Structure 1
C-alpha cells in the first residue's frame, strides 16, 4: 500500500452540519464505544481498514476521515474506526481543521489498490495534509491499546461495506500466574524456572496442534487485591513478559500481541478472611491466557 507515511467540532451528518464546541461538550461522554480488540480477517473480495488517531493529540479539532471523497468518521484523539470496502482502487485521507472547505471531500490525492482479504492499519498524520500513514499490525495494535471506537457520527461513504469476516478458530491456553511469577512480580527476571518450562511446553503444544499460527493474543489477569489501575498495569506487564518468552521460543513477533484484563474477569468466588487467606483463595484469578487464532493475520 503506497499511502505515506479533546473537545471537538462534532459532525452531525444531516447535511454535514458543524456544531460549536459547546455543543460537543454535552455529548463527549457518548462519543466513544468499546475499546479496541484485535480485528479478525475479512474474506475476499473485501479489504479492511482500521483507521485510528493516537491518544494524547494536542489537536482539538476532529480528524475527518474520507473514503473516495465521502465522509466516514470524525476521529477524536484516542478514537478509531474500522470499515471494509471492495478490493480495488480507493482513496483515503484524514484532514484536521477540515471545515469549512472540506478538503477531504473535494480532494482525493492519495489513492492505491487495496488487496482482497488484507487488513490495513492506517494512522492519522495531522501534519501531513491529509495523507494517510500506514503502519504494521504490531505497531498499530500496541498504539491501539486503550483506544475506543468512534461512534458519535454515521458513515456517509457509499463504498464502505459491512465487513464479512472469516470464521475464527480459537484455542485458549491458561498459565497460572503463581507458577510464572512471585506475587506482585511481572518482569522477565522474575519468571521462575517452572514458569520457563511451562511456556516452553505451551509453545511446543501450539506448534504441534496448529497447522498455521496466524495470531496469538496474550492476556494478563490479576486478582482484585490492590487498585484497579495497578491491576490493569500488572496484568499488561505480565502479558508483555509472556509475549516476549513466546517469541524467544520461536513464534514470530508480528504474530503475538499483549493486553490486560486487570481484575475485571475473576474466576474465584466469595473470597474473604485475612489478606493471606484472600490471596490464597484468589489464586485462580492470577493467570495469563494465551489465545491462538488460526485465522487472523494476513
Structure 2
C-alpha cells in the first residue's frame, strides 16, 4: 500500500499496514451474523411514538437527549471519513481495493444503523415535544455541516478510535437509560446500546486481528490514539465541554471506562507479551486511572 498522510477531507487513502482481505471478511461476516433480519429494528414500526412524554424527563435528561442526537446525526461526516481513507475506486491498487471493498460491507451496514439512531432520537424529540421540526433540523444542520477529521496516519488507528468511542457510547446509553423517566426513551436507549455493543465488537475484532498479525508494529499507533483521544465533535460543538459536564451529571459517564475493554482486547490477542505491549497496557491503564473529567 502506498503511503499517505491523513490531513482531512482530501485524503486519497490512509497509510500504514492493512490486514489481508480474508481477515477483514472474517470480522465483517461475524458482525453481520449478529444482526439477523428477525432482530433488526426500525424507526417507523418498532416504537409507539404516541407514548413519547418529555414531561417525564428532567431538564438534564432533556439536555442529554439533545446532545446525543447531535452526536448521532453527524453520521455523514463519520461515514465520509471511511469512504475517503478506504476508497473503493481506481485511486488504489487492486489488492487495496479488495481490502477496502470487504471493509465497505461493514461500513455501509454500520452507517445505516447509526443513521437509524439519529432518526430515532430526532423522532423522539419531535414526538415528545422537545423541539419543533424546522428548528431541530436547523440546529442539527448547524453542527452537521462541520467537518469531522481524525488526525491519524495509520489504518489500525481508524479501528482503534471507534473501538473506544463505540464502547464509551454504549456505556453512556446504558447509564442514561437507568436515569430517564420516560419508558419509551428507555426502550430506544436499549436498542441503541445493543447496536453500539455490536459495533464495538467489530472494531475489537479488527484491532485483535491487527495485533495477532503484526504485533509490536501496531502498538505505537494504538498508543497514539489513546494519547490523543477525544470523543466525536469535542472540537466543533460550541460549548461542548460545559454541555458534556452537564449531561454527565445526569447519567454517569467517563469515556475511559472503555479503556478497560481495549486492554482486554490486547490481552486476548497477544500470547507472549513483549516490552512494547506491556508498555501499552501500562499506558492505557494509567490514562484510565488518571482521568478525572468526563469526555
Normalising by structure 1, report the TM-score. 0.24
Is the strand fraction higher in 1 or 2? 1
Normalising by structure 2, report the TM-score. 0.25
Is the helix fraction higher in 1 or 2? 2
More RCO (CA 8 Å, sep 6+): 2
Computing the radius of gyration over CA atoms, which structure comes out larger, 1 or 2? 1
